[in-house]
């Protein structure tokens, strides 16, 4: 009802009034009475105005789907259909992970009868996910700020924030080139015998068709020689993403899970640009996401949409997830598992056996927790403790890796800096070796 | 645009200065004692010295007596000498320069006179600060400080205003100096609060708007520099894309909406100054008139009660006491919150 200012006025009024009584002073008495009336006289008039009904708030956004670290333009229109509003405070709430880049999402203004204000601001979503802009909070004061009334407009705008596109911009251009040179050294996956591209000449085999015989080479060597052709074959990749709660420990923006997602997006984009089939399984206690390996332009948006909505929780049930995936995929594929290896090793080994039994190959890329949390510790005590914990974790990890190596499953330990180059390198090696050919 | 802010500020300062000079003239000149500060300082130092002296005296005496007690078993002469020393210690220490503490009443009286000067200094400093900064605390310090001078003066019978009851017809009431000072005092609050209100609406909004436009210009300049650089060094083009993503986004928005810079700077938020001033004049006059009427009714309840017909009450001895104001103040002051509560209740009912 009363604002802080109104309360001070009432208390001052009572104080002066009692002083007037005590010292029999009519000036103090009059000022006390006046202050009390000044605080209360406006109340009914203020309450009579239907601010909640008279104020209309409209919000429009430039896009409902946006990549993290890109920009979003928000336009807000406030219309007053009632009488004069002496002072209106407005706040359009934005999610905590959104950064206000330009303009402002709050204002204070005076609105005439039937008046309207329109303003806009630009925000930058910092983290992928599904967010809501809003609610809009309105606080109306009288001219002297003695009375106030609040209203909340539940006008939400849902926004899907995809993982950042910056990695794709940065590495994508390199990945699309056939000869990557410095960074990766990519080559085509070859399937000799069929196709249009000439591969070489070899000795004739009785099983060869006569049309493959190279007569010039036969004449030159005096022996029957056959021409060999090649074609590029696409590979099938399945990303197994661990979305258990342990993956999101540490910094909100730069934890293992966010890096894994960025790596998965980049891998998907590059694989799809080279017409490979790529799929995604995100698992925790249950299968959170299952996207069958496919190629085509729509696949990247399926993956982006699924990754945007993913939130880590529960424990990782690796075996159940792998069993489900293997049963759904009839042909073999190249499995890339992104996990911090902090769950139980037994189900993981069972899952490895299952993949190997189907003749598929598995590569585990494992973000190592202490490398992702190194910057969070500032004091020497915290640093010393983190080193001790890191050693303990490393020992456990070495045991798991030793067991995995028995099944010829390579495990790559990664930190924030080498995560994306490592996954790119792994993909290009697989491509070169023709792992998981479709 | 910010001329309106200066208008209200000048008005507010002007009223405060008039109020200050009026209040100074409405207390006895006797309260403004120049010697209050040095006297209080001297008395306080004397009190401190006396306190230290007492502590010193009693601790030394106890030490000598304890030593005398200890030595009595093996050296009676020394013990006797120490006993004698303790009994004459007061004369030895304070014999030549006896110290008498100032009386508490005298200290309090001087503090009372000093408090006038302290309040006046606080009010003056707040007034100066208010000219530069629109802070609510300065308004309250000025208002409460000025009225506290009257309260302090009334405490010792040094006030020259408000000594007689405010009776008579409304016209006499309006020209009464007590009432003029009351209205002026209240009007100071009204104008000062409006000054802060106007400052928030204009100065703050203009400042924020200018800042946004500056940021916008910087972003655009960054893009121009980028184009220049990338045309020169093609190799670094991809690296700069991230850096100037915002400017590209702004460019796109400007192309799509010609009003973009007006929207982003929030130009439409800044209200119309003329409308605001006319609104202030009308509302202020209505509000102050209503408050004056209500105050008059409460402070001078005789005409209204006589009209109602309560002759016995009007002629009673209680009617000459100031407390009679409560008789109408309570119901009238509570009437407004009660009405607002009823409105609130009906609103909620309708919403349900």
Q: Least CB-CB distance to A104: which of B201, B266, B337?
A: B266
Look at residue B115 and tell me whether its pLDDT is greater than 60: yes
Contacts of A269 (CB under 8 A, 6+ apart): A168, A172, A175, A300
What are the φ and ψ backbone dihedral angles of A215, each rounded to 5 degrees?
-70, -30
Cis peptide before A420 (omega within 30 of 0): no
pLDDT at B272 exceeding the cut of 90 = no
From residue B261, alpha-carbon distances to A62, A128, A345, B84, B269 in Å are: 16, 29, 58, 95, 13
pLDDT at position B264, please? Answer: 92
Highest mean pLDDT pick, A2-11, A179-188, B83-92: A2-11
β-partners of residue A192 are: A230
Dist CA A420 CA A262 (whole Å): 8
Contacts of B112 in chain A (CB under 8 A): none
CB contacts under 8 A, A 167-206 vs B, are 169-170, 173
- Three-state DSSP state, A412: strand
> What pLDDT score was predicted for residue A179?
41
First to last CA, chain A: 71
Cβ atoms of residues A334 and A237 within 8 Å: yes
Q: Sorting pLDDT into bands at 50, 70 and 90, what band is A121?
A: very high
User: Per the CB < 8 Å rule, is A43 touching B336?
Assistant: yes
Mean pLDDT across A361-388: 84
User: Which of B136, B161, B276 lies at the smallest CB-CB distance from A110?
Assistant: B276
Nearest residue to A183 via CA among A191, A171, A200:
A171
C-alpha dihedral, A350 to A352 to A358 to A364, nearest 10°: 160
pLDDT at B83: 83
Beta-sheet strand order (sheet of A106-111): A106-111, A85-92, A136-141, A148-153
What digits encode the pLDDT tens for the residues A342-358?
A: 888 899 999 999 999 98
Flag if B238 and A169 touch (Cβ within 8 Å).
Answer: yes
Contact B162 A122 (CB under 8 A): no
- Contact criterion met (CB < 8 Å) for B154 and A5: no
**pLDDT, tens digit (0-9, with 9 covering 90-100), for B216-247:** 888 877 655 555 444 444 444 444 556 578 88
Tens of pLDDT, residues A160-174: 999 988 777 776 565
A44-63 residues touching B, CB cutoff 8 A: 44, 46-48, 50, 62
Q: Is the pLDDT of residue A74 over 80?
A: yes
Of B179, B216, B283, the CB nearest to A102: B216
Please report residues of A whose CB lies closer than 8 A to that of B347.
47, 50
Size of interface A-B (CB pairs under 8 A): 208
Does residue A76 contact residue A118 with C-beta atoms inside 8 Å? yes
Share of chain A above pLDDT 70, in %: 92
The mean pLDDT of B320-329, rounded to a whole number, is 87
Residue B47 above 60 pLDDT?
A: yes
End-to-end CA distance of chain B: 44
Q: Which residues contact B180 (CB under 8 A, 6 or more apart)?
A: B174
Q: Which of B182, B209, B289, B334 to mutate: most A Cβ within 10 Å?
A: B182
Average pLDDT, chain B: 85
Residue, of B100 and A359, whose pLDDT is higher:
A359
For residue range B282-313, list pLDDT tens digits in order. 999 999 999 999 998 998 888 888 787 667 77
**A30 and B155 in contact by Cβ < 8 A?**
no
CB contact under 8 A, A31 and B325: no
How far apart are the C-alpha atoms of B59 and B55, rounded to whole Å?
6
* Largest Cα span, chain A: 135
Q: What is the pLDDT of residue B147?
A: 94
Question: In this predicted model, what pLDDT tens digit does every residue of A260-310 receive, in sequence order?
Answer: 999 999 999 888 888 889 999 999 999 999 999 998 889 999 999 999 999
In the predicted model, is pLDDT for residue A35 greater than 70? yes
Round to whole Å and give the CA distance between B161 and B148. Answer: 13
User: Each residue of B231-246: b (16+ CB within 10 Å) or e?
Assistant: eeeeeeeeebeeebbb
Q: Is A29 on the interface with B (CB under 8 A)?
A: yes
* Contact criterion met (CB < 8 Å) for B271 and A73: no
Torsion sign over Cα B233, B237, B240, B245:
positive
Strands (E), A295-343: 334-338
Q: Which residues of B touch A25 (CB under 8 A)?
A: 150-151, 154, 159, 161-163, 322
Distance CA A37, CA A28 (A): 14
Residue among B158, B162, B184, B214 with most chain A CBs within 10 A, to mutate: B162
Whether A239 shows a pLDDT value over 90: the answer reads: yes
Phi, psi values for residue B88, rounded to 5°: -100, 5
Q: Coil, strand, or helix at residue B109?
A: helix
Residue to mutate among A26, A124, A144, with most B CBs inside 10 A, is A26
The CA distance from A367 to A347, in Å, is: 19
* Separation CA B193–CA A6 (nearest Å): 11
A28·B250 Cβ contact <8 A: no
Name the helix (H) or strand (E) containing A75.
Answer: strand A72-80
pLDDT band at B14 (very low <50, low <70, confident <90, very high): very high
Residues in chain B within 8 Å Cβ distance of A71: 245-246, 249
Give the rounded percent of residues in chain B with a pLDDT score beyond 70: 90
Largest CA distance in chain B: 111
pLDDT in the model for residue B235: 44
> What would the mean pLDDT of A401-409 be, rounded to a whole number?
91
Contact A306, A282 (CB under 8 A): yes
Contact criterion met (CB below 8 Å) for B276 and A19: no
d(CA B162, CA B174): 14
Within 8 A of A31 by CB-CB distance, chain B residues are: 147, 182, 185-186
Contacts with B154 from chain A: Cβ below 8 Å: 19, 23, 25, 28
Q: Is the ipTM of this complex over 0.85?
A: no
Q: Does the CB of A43 have a partner CB in chain B at under 8 Å?
A: yes
Q: In this complex, is the C-beta atom of A35 within 8 Å of any C-beta atom belonging to chain B? A: yes
Contact A30 B179 (CB under 8 A): yes
Tell me the chain A residues in contact with residue B260 when contact means C-beta distances shorter than 8 Å.
120
Distance CA A9, CA B147 (A): 13
State the pLDDT confidence band at B41, using cuts at 50, 70 and 90.
very high
Least confident of A106-120, A186-200, A307-321, B47-61: A186-200
Contacts of B215 in chain A (CB under 8 A): 102
Mean pLDDT over each residue of chain A, to the nearest integer: 87
Q: What are phi and psi of A17, to 5 degrees?
A: -65, -45
Q: Give contacts of B200 with chain A, Cβ < 8 Å.
A: 87, 108
Q: How far is A339 from chain B (nearest CA, A)?
A: 30
Q: How far apart are CA A26 and CA B287, in angstroms?
A: 22
Q: Which pLDDT value is given to residue B122?
A: 96
Please answer yes or no on whether A38 and B179 come within 8 Å at the CB atom: no
Is A144 close to B204, i.e. CB distance below 8 A?
A: no
Decide if B343 and A121 are in contact by the 8 Å CB cutoff. Answer: no
**Helical H runs in A51-106?**
51-54
Residue of A nearest to B177 (CA): A27
Closest by Cβ to A107, choosing from B182, B266, B332: B266
Chain B residues with CB-CB distance to A38 below 8 A: 186, 189-190, 291
Q: How far is A29 from chain B (nearest CA, A)?
A: 7
Q: Find the range with the poorest average confidence among A122-136, A187-201, B241-255.
A: A187-201
pLDDT higher than 50, residue B4: yes
Mutate to test the interface with A, among B264, B279, B318 (most CBs of A within 10 A): B264
Q: How confident is the model at residue A76 (pLDDT cuts 50, 70, 90)?
A: very high
Residue of B nearest to A142 (CA): B197
Least Cα distance to A154 among A140, A170, A133, A169 occurs for A133
Burial environment of residue B349 by CB neighbours within 10 A (0 to 12, 13 to 18, 19 or more): exposed
Residue A180: the pLDDT is 42
A41 min Cα distance to partner chain B (Å): 6
pLDDT tier for residue A71 given thresholds of 50, 70 and 90: very high
A293 in Cβ contact with A236 (< 8 Å) = yes
A117 neighbors A92 (Cβ within 8 angstroms): no
Task: Identify which of A29, A35, A103 has the shortest CB distance to residue B299.
Answer: A29
Nearest CA in chain B to A8: B140
Cβ distance A71 to B246 less than 8 Å, yes or no, reads yes
Q: Are A13 and A35 in contact (CB under 8 A)?
A: yes
Q: Name residues 98-157 of chain A within 8 A of B (Cβ).
A: 101-104, 107-112, 116-122, 143-145
Q: Strand A157-162 vs strand A148-153: parallel, antiparallel, or unpaired?
A: unpaired
* A400 three-state secondary structure: helix
């Amino acid at each position: 009802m009363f604002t802080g200012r109104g309360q001070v006025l009432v208390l001052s009024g009572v104080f002066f009034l009692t002083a007037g009584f005590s010292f029999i002073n009519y000036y103090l008495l009059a000022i006390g009475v006046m202050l009390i009336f000044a605080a209360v006289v406006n109340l009914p008039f203020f309450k009579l105005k239907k601010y909640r009904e008279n104020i209309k708030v409209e919000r429009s956004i430039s896009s409902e789907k946006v990549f993290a670290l890109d920009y979003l333009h928000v336009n807000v229109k406030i219309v007053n259909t009632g009488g004069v509003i002496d002072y209106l405070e407005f706040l359009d709430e934005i999610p905590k992970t959104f950064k206000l880049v330009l303009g402002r999402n709050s204002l204070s203004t005076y609105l005439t009868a039937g008046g309207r204000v329109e303003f806009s601001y630009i925000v930058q979503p910092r983290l992928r996910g599904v967010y809501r802009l809003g609610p809009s909070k309105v606080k109306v004061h009288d001219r002297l700020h003695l009375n106030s009334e609040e209203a909340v407009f539940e006008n939400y705008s849902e926004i899907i924030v995809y993982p950042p596109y910056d990695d794709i911009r940065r590495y994508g251009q390199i990945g699309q080139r056939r000869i990557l040179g410095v960074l990766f050294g990519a080559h085509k996956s070859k399937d000799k015998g069929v196709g249009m591209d000439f591969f070489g000449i070899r000795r004739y085999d009785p099983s060869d068709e006569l049309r493959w015989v190279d007569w010039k080479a036969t004449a030159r060597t005096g022996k029957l020689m056959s021409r060999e052709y090649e074609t590029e074959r696409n590979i099938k990749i399945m990303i197994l993403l661990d979305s258990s709660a342990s993956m999101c420990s540490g910094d909100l923006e730069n934890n293992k899970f966010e890096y894994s997602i960025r790596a998965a997006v980049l891998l998907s984009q590059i694989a799809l640009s080279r017409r490979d089939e790529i799929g995604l399984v995100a698992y925790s206690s249950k299968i959170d996401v299952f996207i069958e390996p496919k190629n085509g332009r729509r696949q990247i948006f399926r993956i982006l949409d699924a990754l945007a909505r993913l939130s880590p929780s529960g424990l990782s049930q690796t075996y159940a997830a792998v069993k489900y995936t293997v049963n759904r995929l009839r042909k073999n594929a190249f499995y890339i598992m992104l996990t911090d290896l902090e769950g139980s090793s037994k189900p993981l080994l069972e899952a490895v056996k299952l993949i190997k039994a189907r003749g598929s190959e598995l590569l585990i890329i494992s973000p190592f927790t202490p490398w992702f949390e190194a910057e969070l510790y500032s004091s020497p005590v915290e640093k010393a403790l983190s080193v001790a914990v890191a050693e303990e974790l490393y020992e456990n990890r070495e045991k798991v890796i030793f067991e995995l190596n028995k099944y010829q499953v390579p495990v790559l330990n990664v930190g924030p800096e080498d995560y994306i180059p490592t996954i790119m390198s792994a993909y290009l090696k697989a491509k070169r070796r023709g792992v998981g050919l479709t | 645009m910010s001329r309106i802010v200066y208008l209200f500020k000048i008005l507010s300062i002007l009223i405060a200065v008039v109020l200050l000079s009026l209040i100074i003239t409405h207390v006895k000149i006797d309260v403004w004692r120049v010697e209050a500060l040095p006297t209080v300082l001297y008395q306080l130092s004397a009190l401190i010295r006396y306190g230290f002296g007492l502590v010193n005296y009693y601790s030394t005496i106890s030490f000598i007596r304890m030593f005398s007690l200890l030595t009595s078993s093996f050296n009676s002469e020394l013990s006797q000498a120490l006993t004698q020393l303790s009994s004459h210690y007061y004369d030895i220490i304070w014999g030549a320069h006896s110290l008498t503490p100032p009386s508490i009443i005298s200290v309090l009286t001087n503090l009372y006179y000093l408090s006038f000067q302290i309040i006046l200094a606080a009010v003056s400093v707040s007034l100066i600060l208010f000219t530069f900064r629109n802070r609510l605390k300065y308004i309250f310090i000025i208002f409460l400080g000025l009225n506290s001078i009257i309260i302090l003066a009334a405490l010792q019978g040094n006030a020259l205003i408000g000594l007689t009851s405010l009776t008579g017809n409304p016209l006499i009431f309006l020209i009464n100096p007590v009432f003029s000072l009351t209205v002026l005092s209240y009007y100071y609050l009204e104008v000062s609060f409006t000054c802060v209100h106007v400052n928030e609406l204009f100065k703050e909004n203009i400042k924020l708007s200018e800042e946004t436009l500056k940021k916008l210009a910087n972003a655009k300049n960054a893009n121009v520099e980028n184009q220049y650089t990338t045309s020169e060094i093609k190799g670094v083009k991809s690296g700069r894309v991230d850096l100037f993503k915002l400017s590209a986004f702004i460019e796109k928005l400007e192309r799509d909406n010609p009003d973009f810079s007006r929207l982003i700077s929030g130009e439409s938020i800044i209200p119309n100054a003329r409308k605001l001033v006319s609104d202030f004049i009308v509302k202020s006059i209505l509000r102050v008139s209503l408050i004056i009427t209500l105050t008059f009714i409460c402070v001078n309840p005789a005409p209204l009660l006589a009209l109602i017909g309560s002759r016995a009450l009007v002629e009673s001895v209680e009617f000459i006491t100031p407390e009679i104001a409560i008789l109408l103040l309570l119901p009238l002051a509570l009437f407004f919150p009660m009405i607002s509560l009823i409105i609130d209740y009906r609103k909620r009912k309708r919403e349900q």
